[in-house]
Amino acid sequence: MYRDYLWSPGRMKWVGKRKPYKGCVFCGIARDDPRVPKKVIYRDSLLMVIMNIFPYNVGHLQVVPLRHVEWPEQLTEEEFTHFCDMIKRTIRLLRKALSPVGFNAGMNLGSSSGQSITHLHFQIVPRYAKEAGFMESLMGTKVMPETLDQTYKRIMRHADILKK
């Protein structure tokens, strides 16, 4: 449990009652709605790869079907095959762009699993050998060593890996 907090009042519009966007955030990103902040790495006719703008760690990406489904079995065979292939490609991209030593990867399915957005998505969180320092270990505060824009630029230099 964290003992200290970094305050980010701008997040309240996403976690509080004053949400600037009503509806599924991933569907908003898929429709390129200007009200939804986004960092899209890749998009085709079936899915997109996006940065989590509230990442657990540097380079936290998500593979998201464009069509709103909540469960993997709701995907067509074509969508499911492409979804799984894109997970592999996204891990390859992160290895090349950021050189992590490991990953946390997976899906939360259903509200009791901790899922906060009901649109199916696969999380890929890079892990690094020296990611925990003084602030994380002793102060209970996560420190991100670079901005989202800096990470986005590093990832985009290798985004061709996601193309077939």
Choice among 60, 82, 119, 121 that is catalytic: 121
Active site residue 158: no
Amino acid sitting at position 155? I
What is the distance between the alpha carbons of residues 109 and 72, in angstroms, rounded to a whole number? 9
What is the distance between the alpha carbons of residues 147 and 67, in angstroms, rounded to a whole number? 30
Report the Cα 49 to chain-centroid distance in Å.
8
What is the distance between the alpha carbons of residues 81 and 19, in angstroms, rounded to a whole number? 34
Sign of the alpha-carbon dihedral angle for 156, 158, 161, 164: positive
Q: Which residues carry out catalysis?
A: 121
